[in-house]
Amino acid sequence: MLLICVMALAIVSYVNLRLAGNMTYPPFVFCAVWTGALALLLALGEMFYPVSAVTLSYYFFGALAFSAGGFLALLPNLGAFVKRSRPVAAADRRIVQVALDIGLVLAVGALPIYFRYMRQMAAFARAKGSDWQQMRRGIIAVMNLPGGAGFRIEPLLLPIFVILALLAFYEYDGGRLRRLRTYLFLVVAAGFALSSSGRSEVLLLMVGLVAIAWTKWDPPQLKLISTAAFAFVLLFGANQILLEKTNASSRASLAENLPAVANGFASYAMGGIVGLDYVLKHPGAIENGWRPTRIVTSALNKFGGEYREPSRDLAYVGIGSGDVSNVYTAYFAFVDYGVLAVGCFLMFLGATSTLAYRYALRGSPLGVLCFGTSLYGCVMSVFAEEWFSRLAFYLKAAVIVVVLYEVLPRFWGMLSRASARDVAELELGGEEREMAGF
């Protein structure tokens, strides 16, 4: 059954590629990721518990639903899409470039502050005897820091400067200084992501860069994709060794750590796929902290609500060979609503991801950012739901784009016009005085 599912997903992937003619078309990426993941599960054989036909049908049905949503979003212009020049005037783009220059200076200055903040969280978590990677995920941990009650700016620094770094890459238009600024911005943004100790933030930055590169230059960008994938694998291995996960040890040699790193990669890659099978066989056994409604309850709680929010750090289950996992794929966020709701949610995500793809190809800065984030959701769908849970990132991206591309240019234009009027009035007043004196 697993082999049949892999072959069926491969066919759907091929249809999506032929439909859009672009390897970054979100339904193709989604289906290709799932084809590769299930093919890897098939190759690993006895390492993991077998996945039931019911769970595999969820995966295939979800891929069809995501593809159907993408197909609907392609209409009425079915086929290739012509790139349009970006709807930003040259004068406005100069304002954006200046704002990005200022943003780089602020990012460099804020990086040590963010790093110190993360070290404080690590020390606090260790004092409580818990994993500080889990503690960093919620605002509750931030509020519990010594003297940390109330609003803290530090958690906002990571998404803000990742967004600005992606826009700096998007706005790169040649020249040594602009190239230097772009590289430096990306290095600083990677510093923020690495300081968070989370691999997901680094992957979000990498996928965003690939998405932007594909919209700026003619494909294929296979070299960029392979470089980003290789960098992520290195980061994954280093992270696993330094944090001594899955029997890796920071005191052992690289050769001694390789088996543990390989086992950790396989467990991380397959854990969600096998884990969801356990969830479907044991409904309610794992408390669901990933439901999309969490967005609403979290917002209400910020305004005094008292709704219970289960932790996003889910319980662990066995996945085979003595390994355990606490990720259950993106499907887990929707399974409590039933199989039809799973299809509806994924169809909606396929449609919205494809709309972002279309706007990105047309040169929309916000479209490019949303496109990159939606691709990240496709890549991460094997592990976790990263579309609804990234809503705050989408909102921050929208605010930053509006400020950079709408508010600042209009404000600068108002100042320029006011300055021009003042100069004209001074010149007119001078002429009148000269005429009176004459």
Helix ranges (H only) for 84-221 are 90-127, 132-135, 139-144, 154-170, 176-195, 199-216
Q: What is the pLDDT of residue 438?
A: 46
pTM of the model: 0.84
Q: In the chain, which residues have pLDDT < 50?
A: 78-83, 85, 132-149, 438
From first CA to last CA, the distance across the chain in angstroms is 100
- 147 Rama class: left (phi>0) / alpha (psi -120 to 50) / beta: left
Write down the pLDDT at residue 154. 84
Q: Are 297 and 307 spatial neighbours (Cβ–Cβ below 8 Å)?
A: yes
- pLDDT for position 7: 96
- Residues 56 and 63 sit within 8 Å (Cβ to Cβ): no
Dist. CA 136–CA 134, nearest whole Å: 5
Contact 214, 20 (CB under 8 A): no
Residue 387 is predicted with a pLDDT of: 95
User: Strand pairing of 317-320 and 323-325?
Assistant: antiparallel
What integer pLDDT is reported at residue 138 of this predicted model?
A: 45
Amino acid residing at 87: P
Specify the pLDDT at position 137.
47
Cα separation, 137 vs 295, in Å, equals 15
Distance CA(347)–CA(73), nearest Å, equals 10
Which two structure tokens, joined as six digits, stand for 351?
């449609």
Percentage of residues of the chain with pLDDT beyond 90 = 41
Choose among 221, 204, 210, 117: nearest CA to 162: 204
pLDDT at site 367: 92
pLDDT at 313: 81
Whole-number pLDDT of residue 174? 80
Q: What is the pLDDT of residues 151-176, one digit of tens each?
A: 678 888 999 999 999 999 999 888 88
Helix/strand/coil for 284: coil
Distance CA 390, CA 159 (A): 10
Q: How far apart are CA 378 and CA 372, in angstroms?
A: 10
Torsion angle of C-alpha atoms 361, 367, 372, 375, degrees rounded to 10: -80
124 and 144 in contact (C-beta within 8 Å)? yes
